[in-house]
């Protein structure tokens, strides 16, 4: 399994965890029923590990140039960096819904580009 595939699998776990956390947060009726902080931190650590694998993969041999997705890995990396930044902001701003939505939008966009880069590269 190549490093891009490792990044895809690790980030898939982070995306699944983020989806569960978002749904849990949206269903919460009060502060006590929201997801625990440790769950959010674990989600962030898994995402950071996938981001690190992606950064190493991007430095490897070019892929996807023939199919027009050669820059998708770099763009996905930049988007995941933004997702990490907004994820930290979610923690610091005490889980503001608008910041969570921005975080999710950036992360999902990066994830879709990563999947295209992996599939067509």
Total domain count, the chain: 1
Say if CB 67 and CB 44 are below 8 A apart.
no
Indicate whether this model's pTM tops 0.75: yes
Q: What is the pLDDT of residue 94?
A: 79
- Residue 61 tokens, joined: 């041999």
Q: What is the pLDDT of residue 78?
A: 98
Taking CA atoms, 85 is separated from 89, 100, 102, 106, 109, in Å, by 6, 11, 11, 10, 15
Average pLDDT per consecutive 10 residues, the chain (121 residues; last block may be shorter): 94 97 90 89 98 96 92 97 96 87 97 96 79
Q: H helices of the chain, where?
A: 3-27, 37-58, 72-92, 97-120
**CA-wise closest residue to 50 among 119, 120, 121, 111:** 111
Nearest to 77 by CA among 2, 1, 4, 23: 4
User: Quick one: pLDDT at residue 89?
Assistant: 94
> In this predicted structure, what is the pLDDT of residue 44?
97
Print the domain residue range for 14. 3-120
């Amino acid at each position: 399994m190549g490093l891009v595939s490792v990044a895809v699998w690790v980030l898939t776990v982070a995306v699944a965890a983020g989806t569960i956390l978002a749904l849990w947060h949206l269903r919460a009726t009060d502060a006590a029923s929201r997801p625990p902080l440790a769950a959010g931190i674990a989600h962030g650590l898994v995402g950071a590990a996938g981001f690190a694998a992606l950064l190493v993969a991007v430095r490897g041999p070019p892929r996807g140039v023939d199919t027009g997705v050669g820059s998708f890995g770099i763009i996905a990396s930049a988007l995941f960096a933004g997702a990490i930044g907004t994820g930290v902001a979610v923690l610091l701003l005490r889980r503001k819904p608008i910041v969570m939505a921005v975080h999710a939008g950036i992360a999902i966009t990066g994830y879709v580009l990563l999947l295209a880069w992996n599939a067509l590269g």
